[in-house]
């Protein structure tokens, strides 16, 4: 895999032709797609891995919701606050355009930052939830955080009065089964699958490109670094998502 800079990104004729002819396209994104917007990634030099001395996996865990929901909110409010001035980058915007370019287009993300929607993507399958939403721990009612007051924390559920938690998947929790099922079905039905900015080590999300590949899709990875998936891809483009995706779209 050779590293490419913005002016040296070369796209194979094969991939160009596939993009021209594809009808069913599937994109899986991870933290790397938002890196150029200034959102830290989790791995590879990410800056958000520790909060008040607690490792990310501890503060962002199902156990912490039971033990100290206030601390979980403090951490997620901090993260939400740090997203306040963050804007979508050319990668998010290219992916948003693809929903109208391809006949059957699926976007699946592991990100909770909401930047795909902010860029105009209409249907985003969010495997790990959304930081801008709360969910009742008792009755599962969901509510957008911008429709609720900043206080109290934890927010109180309007439907049943229960305590609410961030509507995100935490360590020790399962993914929303319905969202994952639809994502897996779409992966199995696509012709062309792009894997953008994910370390591809967190399962079951990392399984989706394998589902696509097994079903016969052409698999393309966009990531400046190699991942465990790289060797299974038909093509790997070693560059930054915000630089590579607009070139693919040209």
Binding site for ligand OAD (CB under 6 A): 30-32, 35-36, 41-44, 46, 60, 110, 128, 169, 197-199, 202, 222-225, 227, 240-241
C-alpha dist (Å) from residue 241 to 112, 181, 189: 18, 26, 24
Active site residue 116: no
Q: What's the CA gap between 36 and 171, in Å, rounded?
A: 26
What is the per-residue burial (b if ≥16 Cβ within 10 Å, else e) of 86-106? Answer: eebbbbbbbbbbbbeebeebb
Q: Give the residue closest to ligand OAD by C-beta.
A: 32
Nearer to ligand OAD, 106 or 110 (CB): 110
Nearer to ligand OAD, 220 or 241 (CB): 241
Contact 4, 82 (CB under 8 A): no
**Nearest approach, Cβ of 174 to ligand OAD (angstroms)?**
11
**Nearest approach, Cβ of 89 to ligand OAD (angstroms)?**
8
Picking from 198, 218, 181, the residue whose alpha carbon sits closest to that of residue 91 is 198
Nearer to ligand OAD, 99 or 109 (CB): 109
What is the DSSP code (8-state) at residue 119?
T
5 SS3 class: coil
Question: What are the phi and psi torsion angles at 139 (to 5°)?
Answer: -110, 0
**Nearest approach, Cβ of 121 to ligand OAD (angstroms)?**
17
**Nearest approach, Cβ of 163 to ligand OAD (angstroms)?**
21
Nearer to ligand OAD, 42 or 51 (CB): 42
Q: Of these residues, 85, 116, 128, 234, which one is catalytic?
A: 128
Q: What's the CA gap between 123 and 89, in Å, rounded?
A: 18
Q: What's the CA gap between 33 and 107, in Å, rounded?
A: 12
Active site residues: 128
């Amino acid at each position: 895999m050779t590293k490419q800079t913005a002016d040296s990104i070369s796209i194979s004729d094969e991939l160009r032709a596939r993009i021209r002819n594809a009808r069913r396209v599937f994109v899986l994104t991870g933290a790397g797609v938002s890196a150029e917007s200034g959102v830290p990634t989790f791995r590879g030099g990410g800056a958000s891995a520790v909060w008040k001395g607690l490792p990310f996996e501890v503060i962002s865990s199902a156990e912490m919701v039971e033990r100290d929901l206030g601390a979980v909110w403090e951490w997620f409010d901090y993260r939400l606050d740090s997203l306040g001035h963050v804007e979508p980058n050319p990668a998010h915007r290219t992916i948003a355009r693809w929903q109208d370019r391809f006949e059957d287009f699926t976007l699946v993300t592991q990100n909770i930052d909401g930047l795909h929607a902010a860029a105009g993507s209409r249907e985003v399958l969010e495997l790990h939830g959304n930081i801008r939403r709360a969910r009742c721990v008792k009755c599962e009612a969901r509510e957008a955080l911008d429709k609720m007051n900043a206080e109290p924390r934890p927010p109180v559920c309007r439907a049943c009065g229960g305590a609410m938690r961030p509507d995100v998947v935490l360590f020790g929790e399962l993914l929303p089964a319905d969202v994952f099922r639809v994502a897996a079905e779409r992966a199995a039905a696509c012709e062309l699958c792009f894997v953008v900015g994910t370390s591809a080590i967190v399962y079951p999300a990392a399984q989706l490109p394998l589902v696509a590949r097994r079903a016969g899709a052409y698999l393309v990875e966009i990531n400046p670094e190699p991942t465990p998936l790289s060797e299974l891809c038909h093509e790997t483009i070693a560059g930054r998502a915000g630089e590579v995706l607009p070139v693919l779209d040209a």
